Chains A and B, each alone.
Chain A
Amino acid sequence: MKIRICIIAAVFALVAVGSGQALAASPTLDSIKSRGALKCGITTALAGFAFADKRGVWRGFDVDFCRALAAALGVKVKFIPTNAKERFPALQSGEVDVLFRNTTWTLSRDTRLGFDFAGVNYYDGQGFMVRKDSGIKSAKDLDGATVCVNAGTTTELNLGDYFRSNGMKYKAVVYETGTEVRQAYEAGRCDVHTTDASGLAAQRSAMKVPGDHIILPEIISKEPLGPAVRHGDNEWGDIVRWVLNAIIIAEEKGLTQGNVSRMAISTKDPEVQRLLGKTGSVGDDLGLDPDWALKAIRKIGNYGEVFERNIGKKTPLALARGLNQLWSKGGILYAPPVR
């Protein structure tokens, strides 16, 4: 029900919202400031990425980036949970200002849906999970399997492409939320659970006996997950892009949640000085306070800290950095320079 209401509301919002926004620097930024809160679209529940803890506080990798963005803007943050189907109408209609919702950057989403992707905060790829006792060792053995998948995702499409290109048959059972997919798979409705590899690890950690399930070695797609904003408000897109970059640069430069305040005063590195607003005018250029990056980093720390805290080795997800390691350490995380 909620889904339908949300989509219909989104449609009506598209229909009814007046088109009379002034040509200010960034209409989105203006409305966030006047509202005093950033509306950040996140997933309904995905362990490690966005979930409500026991006290009802949102936690997770994507949630942290929302917090950093809100801190850089100097506003509060309001989390709007959306399922895979609701997320795009929610962004299109202005229900959320930005989507940090493990959303894959694709050409059609960039064009047909009218979005811009402000970068990549997690390089992922689609994988398969099966029961250990099924004896399956490779995705090539999955001919004839029943596969549980989330509706309205790139995974749903890659699944079709993969089985088609390998001449295999399958039966897809499609649910609205990741949690429904997990429960159906756990109950034996499907032989295979498929989503992004990070999502599989997250879902497995939420199962009754995580050890009963294995993730197959094949990664069948590229899934660059990143924040999406509406196309057309480039100034807002720039802000989201550079808050994300600032978090990555913080790791390159050794800035941490603990030392960033000290470094802001003591650093001799000209780029760090520019980033943290000691010299230059990058904050001003973005339409933000000079200490925007300082506030963001102080809030959540650098990329490595965010990763380890939410999804890293010491968490139930136990994901390795892999592609999400800095370019200088063998990964592909590479933020453009602050200059």
Chain B
Amino acid sequence: MTELTQEQGKVQLISWRNPAVRSVVYQIVSVVLVGFAAYTIFQNTVANLTKRGIASGFSFLNIESGFAISEVMPVPMLEPGFVSFISSIFLGLIAAFVLHKWVTRKGKTVGGDYRLVLLTIFFIFVVPAITYLLTNHIFVTETYSEASSYGLGLVTGVFNTIKMSILGCILATIIGFFVGIARLSSNWLVAKLAETYVEIIRNIPVLLQIFFWYFAVIRTLPMVRESINFFDVFIINNRGIYLPDPTPLPGFHPFLIALFVACVGVYFRLRHVKAVQDLTGRQLPVLFPSIAILIVFPGLVWMGLGAPVELSYPKLTGFNFTGGLNPSPEYAAMLMGLSIYHGSQIAEIVRSGIQAVSTGQKEAARALGLRGGFVMRLVVIPQAMRVIIPPLTSQYLGVTKNSSLGVAIGFPELVSVGGTILNQSGQAIEIIGITMAVYLAASLMISVFMNWYNEKMKLVER
């Protein structure tokens, strides 16, 4: 029987009746068709652009832009020293990884020996820090102005998008977790309030909500001259919120190092506590000593350095308050709109994740004598995370992509700035291409990170 089939197979090796052959042929045909379509589109585009006398290419990115962007920040421009800095980070990570592999092969763990932990910290943090201090030219920052290039304008737009997305994701997550857990609260009022919030907010389009915050809330705040003023420290008007801006003074870096050392200290203290508990069953106090370490040591360094931060307060000069930290109304409206909307979605994800953990788990945890908070923290949430993370990823992607709605209220994110550049330079195809590439890259990066996290959190079957 087998021989017969093989015989047939040989005969029909390149026959149309061989499924393998057919599949290869189909695939080749598809690839050729797709390739041909892409080629035609490309040719057609080039021909149309040439015919209409429209300049194309990316050389326009170096042209001076001439227009202003309302929210700018220093953009790092890489210097040669950056390569050695990045290399040192990679070398440190590789060294730590090799150490980890070597130790694991010997049947131990890195966490089991404090010297190995210190060595790992040295590789991962101290090596790059030393490289940073040795090569003092890693990057220079450049802030966008009218005299800058279109290219820097686009990068500023990307930075505004990132600024929006990161804070939006964090706030949405916080709101989502609180509301999601509140929805399952045994307190009727809390549960109903959370439910109302979720049901109203997630059923209204996010653009409308952004409009609501921008036009109905922030626009109706008082004008500059009638600002709501709390002791010249905290000021609100319809041009935004004004807060004191902390500016680091020279002694700020030693303070950061002290903070880092304190964190390492807390880590070792926690190790010690766990070791004692494993050995004797005695539970040492954790919270207060940790806070003490985190506050007292850096606090002493802070005072020793003479408070190395200067607060600049907003002042009314001429037309506006100047100085201080000033999130614009556009940014504030976007942030509120995005985080409240996506927070309601995340709340549902969290609720479903928690409910996906079978009640048996909770009952078992209680039977072991764990109290309410511990049941949640140690048993339910870790298992719920497995259900929560994949849909959470798409919410983060949603926050990032919805940040492009900033264009509707004049928040200068990538689409808005790109649109202006498109109009001033006329490079429609290039700008749309760059914009799509940036969003694609951002989405893929979020996906990669969340997949890694998911992998880490997933149920390890033993």
Contact = CB atoms under 8 A, between A and B. Distances in A.
Contacts of A171: 68, 70, 320
A279 B238 CA distance: 65
Contact of B317 (A144, A160, A230): A144
Interface string A213-254: 000000000000000001110000000000000000000000
Interface in A177-234: 180, 184, 187-189, 191, 230-232
B428 A19 contact: no
The interface centre, meaning the residue of A152, A153, A230 with most chain B CB atoms within 10 A of its CB, is A152
Interface in A123-177: 143-146, 151-153, 156-157, 159-161, 164, 170-176
A111 B407 CA distance: 28
A204 B392 CA distance: 48
Given A113-B54, A188-B223, A232-B51, A85 B419 contact: yes
By secondary structure, the A interface counts as mixed
Contact of B54 (A112, A172, A184): A112
A188 B44 contact: no
Interface string B405-442: 00110101001100110111110110010000000000
B104 to A, nearest CB: 51
B224 A188 contact: yes
Interface string B313-326: 00001111010000
Interface in A1-51: 1, 3-4, 7-8, 10-11, 14-19
Given A146-B320, A187-B238, A16 B420 contact: no
Contacts of A231: 52-53
A172 B53 contact: no
A152 B66 contact: no
Contacts of A290: none
Given A10-B428, A14-B429, A156-B67, A114 B44 contact: no
B320 A156 contact: no
B55 A89 contact: no
A45 B70 CA distance: 25
Contacts of B422: 7, 85, 89, 152
Contacts, number: 149
Nearest to A164: B146
Given A11-B428, A170-B68, A189 B51 contact: no
Given A8-B432, A152-B420, A187-B238, A232 B68 contact: no
Nearest to B60: A112
Given A161-B66, A164-B146, A189-B219, A7 B410 contact: no
Contacts of B53: 111, 114, 231-232
A92 interface: yes
Given A173-B70, A174-B410, A189 B416 contact: no
A88 B427 CA distance: 10
A84 interface: yes
Interface in B175-189: none
Interface residues of A, number: 53
A114 B70 contact: no
Contact of A11 (B219, B238, B318, B432): B432
B51 A19 contact: yes
Contacts of B44: 15-19
Contacts of B138: none
B260 to A, nearest CB: 37
B31 to A, nearest CB: 21
Contacts of B404: 4
A11 B60 CA distance: 18
B292 interface: no
Nearest to B432: A11
Contacts of A8: 432
Interface residues of B, number: 49
A14 B48 CA distance: 7
B218 to A, nearest CB: 9
Nearest to B43: A19
B229 interface: no
Given A160-B146, A164-B147, A180-B410, A7 B432 contact: yes
A16 to B, nearest CB: 7
B424 A152 contact: yes
B319 A146 contact: yes
A19 B41 CA distance: 11
A173 B44 CA distance: 38
Nearest to A159: B68
Contacts of A88: 423, 426
The interface centre, meaning the residue of B317, B416, B419 with most chain A CB atoms within 10 A of its CB, is B419
B207 to A, nearest CB: 7
Interface string B46-58: 0111011111000
Interface string A108-123: 1101111000000000
A4 B407 contact: yes
A15 B49 CA distance: 9
Contact of B423 (A143, A152, A230): A152
A84 B319 contact: no
Given A14-B428, A85-B422, A172-B69, A232 B52 contact: yes
A191 B146 CA distance: 20
Nearest to A157: B66
A19 B52 CA distance: 10
Contact of A157 (B70, B320, B416, B424): B424
Contacts of A112: 54-55, 60, 425-426
B420 A156 contact: yes
B42 to A, nearest CB: 9
Interface string A81-93: 0001100110010
B329 interface: yes
Interface in B200-252: 207, 219, 223-224, 238-239
B410 A15 contact: no
Interface in B27-86: 41, 44-45, 47-49, 51-55, 60, 66-70
B428 A144 contact: no
A156 B68 contact: yes
B239 A189 contact: yes
Which 4 pairs, one residue from A and one from B, show the smallest C-beta to C-beta distance? Answer: A152-B423, A160-B146, A172-B68, A113-B426
5 contacts: A114-B426, A144-B318, A170-B68, A176-B410, A231-B52
Interface of B: 41, 44-45, 47-49, 51-55, 60, 66-70, 146-147, 207, 219, 223-224, 238-239, 317-320, 322, 329-330, 404, 407-408, 410, 412, 415-416, 419-420, 422-426, 428-429, 432
Given A156-B68, A189-B239, A232-B51, 17 more contacts: A7-B432, A14-B52, A14-B429, A15-B44, A15-B48, A89-B422, A112-B54, A112-B60, A113-B426, A157-B424, A159-B67, A164-B147, A173-B330, A173-B410, A174-B67, A174-B416, A232-B53
Interface of A: 1, 3-4, 7-8, 10-11, 14-19, 84-85, 88-89, 92, 108-109, 111-114, 143-146, 151-153, 156-157, 159-161, 164, 170-176, 180, 184, 187-189, 191, 230-232
